[in-house]
Structure 1
């Protein structure tokens, strides 16, 4: 049985303390930056802080409201970057350490972990990995308070048009992971309004203080 040395235990304790400090700082910045994001009619998805020496990298992820379609444009990212930078520069609780501000929007590669993520992708093709059972790929039809409903896409021979199965309902509690599938062709014209092609993985802007 391996026994940790005192130095290893101290290093582990320091690492845990630093991680807790960064999480607390990220939450504080989230509270400060959220009103700025909302002024641009966007949703503040996440704030994450990485530290290298005395330098900080603050990564802010913004998204469109649930009822909006499409993705956040580069012009919007640029505009909000200026306002977020001003909010951070005027932060009375900041410790004046240099920082880089990175702003991006989530793309189709983002895991669907919250009900709002699923609602933002109604009409798209998604892959669902349930807690138990086989992976299901299908067209997301509806999102309720407790789960989702989709039309499964049945496996067919290569080159054949995909076939749809019977509607399937899955509760959020029984979903282990969900992701949006990139599409290069649509099932039929019925879904054209909802599936306007793949979103880019992210749009980003960087500001250095």
Structure 2
């Protein structure tokens, strides 16, 4: 992606933070992908407790309004997609860990260790995991990559549902 695309993406994200925040939503990602003469603009949103279809419809209307009012995309046509964060996105902020409490996560640390454990909680500095029955505190600065693992036979109930 070019510096111009990065600047456009950053400006879109900045324009969306307050309006979507007023709906109780966090902007998790903005992606712009060329698609012939159009662009695809994907905006991922989330909130504590997750998002449902109605939240995504309301967010899409607000994102469309903001993009039209801000004229950040210029005259080139685009297709807008507003989605939930999804389980395939890495956990990069404390709120991502908090929102995935009790989920299984695979973590690669900055020193190359790979571990899988259940998120038991987090604070602003670290995630707390149960790794094979042992408690482990993992400072966020030591996390190189963390991804939620999909569980089909999740303990205590049905699999996690995504919007």
What TM-score, normalized by structure 2, do the two folds share? 0.86
1:167 aligns with 2:135: yes
* Structure 1 position 93, deviation (Å): 5.1
Q: 1:25 maps to which residue?
A: 8
Tell me what 2:107 maps to.
Answer: 128
Per-residue deviation at 1:171? 1.7
Question: Kindly tell me: are residues 22 and 133 of structure 1, through their superposed partners in 2, closer, same or farther at Cα, counting changes over 3 Å?
Answer: closer
TM-aligned CA deviation for residue 120 of structure 1: 1.3
Q: What is the SS of the residue equivalent to 1:90?
A: helix
Q: Secondary structure at the match of 1:128?
A: strand
1:72 is the counterpart of 2:51? yes
Q: CA deviation at 1:110?
A: 1.5
Match of 1:197 in 2: 159
Where relative contact order (Cα < 8 A, 6+ residues apart) is larger, the structure is: 1
Cα-Cα RMSD: 2.1
User: 1: CA distance between counterparts of 2:14 and 2:112?
Assistant: 40
| Matched length | 163
Normalised to the residue count of structure 1, the TM-score between the two structures is 0.69
The Cα shift of 1:197 comes to 2.4
SS of 1:48's partner is: strand
Q: 1:88 and 1:42 mapped to 2: Cα distance?
A: 17
Structure 2 Cα separation of the partners of residues 93 and 113 of structure 1: 27
More strand per residue: 2
Q: How much has 1:94 moved relative to structure 2? A: 4.6
Residue 175 of structure 1: how far off its partner (Å) = 1.8
CA contact (8 A) 2:106 2:117 kept: yes
User: Which residue in 2 is equivalent to 1:59?
Assistant: 42
Structure 1 stretches lacking a partner, 5+ long: 1-17, 154-163, 204-209
Q: What pairs with 1:26-175 in structure 2 (closer than 5 Å)?
A: 26-64=9-47, 68-69=48-49, 71-92=50-71, 94-132=73-111, 134-153=113-132, 164=133, 166-175=134-143
